[in-house]
Amino acid sequence: MPLEVNISRLMSRLETLSGFNAAPGRGITRFSYSPEDREARNYLEKLFSTMGLKVAVDGAGNMRARLEGSDPNAPAVLSGSHIDTVLHGGKYDGAVGTLGAIEAVRSILESGLPRRHPLEVAVFAEEEGSNFGSTLAGSKALTGKYSLGDLEKLRNPEGKSMADMLREGGYTPETLKDSLLRPKEVKAMVELHVEQSVVLESKGIPLGIVEAVAGIRALEIRLKGTPNHAGATPMTLRQDPLVTAGRLISHIEVLGRGSGTGSTTATVGKITCFPNVSNIIPGEVRFSVDIRDVDMGGMESVLRGISTAGPAFAGSAGLSFEMLLVSESDPVTLDRGIVSLMKECAEKRGLPAMAMNSGAVHDACMFAPLVPTGMIFIPSKGGRSHVPEEYSSPEDIEKGASLLADVLYELSK
């Protein structure tokens, strides 16, 4: 008997969840540990209770709701995502994976089919990094990447630490070490997520089976010259870092396109110019560089190119050059067995699916080095995400939740 998800129920819950919003009419703003987040969590806890799931919350605010199988000592099959958003974001990012996991487990429960393994639904905290600028903070804490000391150091723009915000919210970050993920207790982790890009929509395919997640190298480039009068300084006697920044930024695009892997991205998204006055030649320019690839070689190629071209461009203009590594993560390869299982389940349902990579990081990335991990993508209209216009159709959400249910059940048998 095929599992049947109730898409009307799922979409109704999505609408309810989107109502917990600090900025109505301007997308969805729901930061972790906010009043809106607490209301959303209370709502989810009630859903878990009606399903007979036992809820546990750790010191970082991660929720795990457990439905026992016939063998309570068997490792659990875990699924879930996050419910926090960026400022003025959309209602699908994270929420579809969280509510999709709830609906998938509900469909398994309602089917009455036998299971050996427990099922768990997870709601990860602070995935977006909207409070403290660190993405995946909740799942990093759960998997041991962040300690209490790290949570004390992470601070929001007002200077409040993540640990203090947790305490104010009624959590106990001091107990974090007592609830770390134990790999032997988790058989697999599978996350459903909106794609946040245009690949699936452009190909007309409703499901993506993620094989790898791109690694990231985040840089800050600093070019320093000599600020001076815009009218009195001849063009031949200037040390203008903004002009050189423009040349280097254009070269970075060339490096990204020519890395040789076909999957490299190189993006400059933030530029700061000092003193940023119209009639003064700038004295310093700083800009970000976001380099991503599922192939480490692609990222290294762009890094080498910048470290060679940057000093050369700066030297020819009489400038100083500095390249700082802000953060880094390595590419993640997802479990081949789960990828194969997803393909089999999609074929049995007659659902078109394609293997693909993810350029964005997700909570699943923290689990992949520890337990067998998989991801399912559904299309995002126009590739839009982190904006109020973010949208995935009920039809695609239903397909994603159905595939998730099949995969979770097969793993739990």
pLDDT tens profile 295-320 = 999 999 999 999 999 999 999 999 99
What's the number of domains the chain is made of?
2
**CATH code, domain with 19:** 3.40.630.10
Band (pLDDT 50/70/90 cuts) for residue 326 is confident
For the entire predicted model, the pTM comes to 0.91
Place of tokens 């209770």: 49
Please indicate, yes or no, whether residues 225 and 325 belong to a single structural domain of this protein: yes
Please indicate, yes or no, whether residues 297 and 399 belong to a single structural domain of this protein: no
3-state helix, strand, coil in the chain (%, to 5): 40, 25, 40
| C-alpha–C-alpha distance, residues 83 and 91, integer Å | 9
Is 1 within a domain?
Answer: no
Is 194 within a domain?
Answer: yes
Domain limit, last residue, from 310, 329, 348: 329
Please indicate, yes or no, whether residues 254 and 196 belong to a single structural domain of this protein: no
* Token pair of 320 as six digits: 């100083």
Residue 327: the pLDDT is 84
Please indicate, yes or no, whether residues 179 and 280 belong to a single structural domain of this protein: no
Please indicate, yes or no, whether residues 45 and 141 belong to a single structural domain of this protein: yes
Please indicate, yes or no, whether residues 182 and 58 belong to a single structural domain of this protein: yes
Please indicate, yes or no, whether residues 193 and 220 belong to a single structural domain of this protein: no
Alpha helices for 179-240 (secondary structure H): 199-203
Is 352 within a domain?
Answer: yes
Please indicate, yes or no, whether residues 339 and 203 belong to a single structural domain of this protein: yes
Residue 1: the pLDDT is 60
Domain limit, last residue, from 329, 355, 372: 329
The mean predicted confidence, pLDDT, of the chain is 97
- State the maximum Cα–Cα separation within the chain, in Å, rounded to a whole number: 82
Domain limit, last residue, from 282, 306, 329: 329
Q: Are 338 and 191 in contact (CB under 8 A)?
A: no
Please indicate, yes or no, whether residues 336 and 347 belong to a single structural domain of this protein: yes
Is 165 within a domain?
Answer: yes
**Residue range(s) defining the domain that contains residue 271:** 215-329
Please indicate, yes or no, whether residues 84 and 99 belong to a single structural domain of this protein: yes
Residue 345: the pLDDT is 98
- Sequence-distant (6+) residues with CB within 8 A of 157 are none
